Amino acid sequence: MTLHASKLAEDLNLNNIVSRQFDKAAAMLKLPEGLLKQIKVCNTVYMVQFPVRFGDKYEIFTGWRAEHSQHKKPVKGGIRYSETVTQEDVMALATLMTYKCAIVNVPFGGAKGGVRLNPRSYSPEQLEKITRRYTAELIKKGFIGPGIDVPAPDYGTGEREMAWIADTYDAFHPGEIDNLGCVTGKPISQGGIRGRREATGRGIQFALREVFRNEQDLKKIKLSPGLSEKTVIVQGLGNVGYYAALFLEEEEGCKIVGIAEYEGGIFDARGLRVKDVFHYRKEKGSLLNFPGARNFKDSIALLEEDCDILIPAALENQITLENARNIKAKVLAEGANGPTTPEAEEILMKKGVFVIPDIYLNAGGVTVSYFEWLKNLSHVRFGRMEKRREEQTMANLVQTIEDAVGKKLPEHVKKKIGRGPSELDLVNSGLEETMIEAYHEIRNIMETRKNVTDLRTASYIDAIEKVATSYLELGVFP
């Protein structure tokens, strides 16, 4: 099949793809048609064009903020800086955020924002001006606030931009004590929470760990339980891909055999040290020609190499009719939003590939954003009140055991047992519980509902039913 023919054969519009996935799941539910339409539609979309002055010249930027559903408040979703972002992209991503929050039982509606620009083309000072002006536009129309709409980082943005947003919001709302809760993903010193930067990657780790505990599913794809020695290819070396690969390598014993970025990819069957690749790329400006690895000028081609787990953690539409038949991975773990088209997924399913959908797998970010938001509203760091008390309780318990048996425990053992939980410990504990609980919810739907044969459809069913329940209980639909 030629590239031109394949493009005509499949729809690569993310908004249309999300809509089709919704329709597939909704057809299996006995809910009022009007209620399903309300859940499906994006409630509000704000488009703005705003000028920013650089020296003696002005540049006009286009930005959006989409709020998909207010069945829970506030709404929540990242802000993307990309020269390819469109209104339909933002609407689709806002929709996915609603479903994502529902699946992991985070009480937010979904939202998403974007500004059309290439952040690499602007200096930090210029990006600050753009970010502050975009934030001012959101404030003027009521599209941001700790109880209204809470943005977060996304592709092309990070902690720095979130700090600028928080400061701009605070300047417009002097004296309001919950101002830091207007945005998440901030630096620790500005009200952020430990573990947020790596949260999506950490969530992928926890989810895969749980998937690889289920012998029944693993038998179907001919893999042994446990992640140790499983081979992994990761596309994307941003926060999501980097931390997912790092944790799988260092904490789960996986072998990272391939890493892809926009400039190309590298492959080494013996395994790659993720930190070494990251630092090499930072120094050289490219991961190509990494010592001992084979180069791939086309990063998409790397996805077709042999591995147990493939993690696309970059952008949408990476696995299509063009390459789906060549995918050799046994597990496709969607770290990015919408990396697989429906037509490609059908091919993968027929091949027996176990697909873990984005709508569940990359929900670690919004989960920890929820924890950050709670921290901002409570005005106290997690663990601060109870850490020393728990350490003293455990020390007393150890002393009681030692007195009872007449024997001393080694100091390193006592230190390990007696350490009270830090904020990071509590964040990771909450994230792990969330990912495990959500996985078993959607897997149970897949196992028990008639005609549900994949995790994606099960995830949509789970989300739609939860959102529908909220609307019904609110009395919106009698």
- DSSP letter, residue 64: E
Give CA–CA dist 334/14, Å, rounded: 15
Helix (H, G, I), strand (E, B) or coil at 360: helix
Give CA–CA dist 201/451, Å, rounded: 31
What does the chain come to in residues? 478
- Order of strands, edge to edge, in the sheet holding 309-312? 294-296, 264-267, 255-261, 231-235, 309-312, 331-333, 354-356
**Positions marked catalytic:** 112
Q: Contact 461/28 with Cβ under 8 angstroms? A: yes
Give CA–CA dist 9/37, Å, rounded: 27
Give CA–CA dist 294/275, Å, rounded: 18
Q: Which neighbouring-strand residues pair with 355?
A: 332
Give CA–CA dist 324/338, Å, rounded: 14
The burial class, CB within 10 Å (0-12 / 13-18 / 19+), for 273 is: middle
Give CA–CA dist 275/455, Å, rounded: 32
Backbone CA torsion sign across 274, 280, 282, 287: negative
DSSP string, 143-159: --BTTTEEEEE-TT--H
Give CA–CA dist 157/139, Å, rounded: 19
